[in-house]
Amino acid sequence: MFTGLVQTVGTIASTKEVGAGKRLRIECGELPHPIQVGDSIAVAGCCLTVVEMAGNILTFEAGPETLERTTCGQWQEADQVNLECSLCVGDPLGGHFVTGHVDGVGELHLREDDQQWSICSFRVAAKMTSQMISKGSVAVDGVSLTLVEVQAEHFTVQLIPHTLAHTTMGNLSPGGRVNIETDILAKYAQKSLRTES
């Protein structure tokens, strides 16, 4: 479980196809908790397991399901990714409940910059916006954001200067693809209503 509060930005050191999956080596900045092999880390919103460590380079493996559902398969050397350690008991929950199980990929189709702030609109499948509501939460590349406006096949968020400076969101331009995870509470509510009707 994660919060969507990015702790550092990592850089893809290398990628390698391994059977139907992919092996990812990521050079990471300073993380708040000591990392061990077997730990879960949200990488651009995807919950991945550390399988090897060498200094500040962590190695992960992404399987076919992850490659199909997320942007992991498109990552290349030198790309930057948001990183967040999984929650420990007693950690503050400053964002919202994020599982690291990506629902699908969205695309930035509009970005309006106003001095240090940005308004971004993302195109997504209608099945995802059905689990969104204005002032609710969404995770975009692992970043917990508040929804401003939700339409049938797109949603809008406003990015504060801190988010733009300390995550990969500041480098995102129209056409950029991102991992989207809707609010887990909205999923359960939707499932419950469908079951009752």
Pair 98, 182: CB distance under 8 Å: no
Report the pLDDT averaged over residues 57-72: 97
Q: Which residue has the higher pLDDT, 186 or 177?
A: 177
> What pLDDT is attached to residue 93?
81
Instruction: List pLDDT tens digits, range 73-91.
Output: 999 999 999 999 999 878 8
In the chain the domains, ranked by start, together with CATH numbers, are: 8-85 (2.40.30.20), 104-196 (2.40.30.20)
CA nearest neighbour of 150 among 122, 129, 126: 129
**Neighbour count for residue 94 (Cβ, 10 Å):** 9
- How large a percentage of the chain has pLDDT more than 90? 84
The stretch 136-140 carries a mean pLDDT of: 97
- How confident is the model over 166-189, as a mean pLDDT? 94
pLDDT at 197 over 60: no
Q: Looking at residues 123-131, what average pLDDT do you find?
A: 96
